[in-house]
Amino acid sequence: MFRDRLDGAWLQLLSFALATLAASLLVPNRWLVDALVLSLAVAKGRVIVRDYLGLRDAPALWRGLLTTWLAGLAAFAALAVILRALV
């Protein structure tokens, strides 16, 4: 379907960006919007790590480390959202 894997990755990133925009405009619940935006950010990060950084065929250790790093960033962002709500 796509000539290159990066074309498919580009379309995935574009669809994630549009979903982020739609979620921020259409979902009335702020907590749900924050959760959707963070999960879409992690999904975009996975696409970038796999396809743009070329780690799709890398050893599982590298993919796991970068996925853990992305999850850690999302966890810190979620913690900041929770702390903002409590203050």
Over 69-85, what HEC string results? Answer: HHHHHHHHHHHHHHHHH
**Domain boundaries along the sequence of the chain:** 5-86
User: What kind and span of H or E run contains 9?
Assistant: helix 5-26
Dihedral pair phi/psi, residue 12, rounded to 5°? -65, -45
pLDDT of the residue at 13: 95
Per-residue model confidence as pLDDT tens digits over 11-48: 999 999 999 999 999 989 888 898 899 999 999 999 99
Whole-number Å distance between alpha carbons of 42 and 74: 7
The residues, ordered by sequence, that sit 6+ positions from 85 with a Cβ below 8 Å of its Cβ are 31
pTM of the model: 0.83
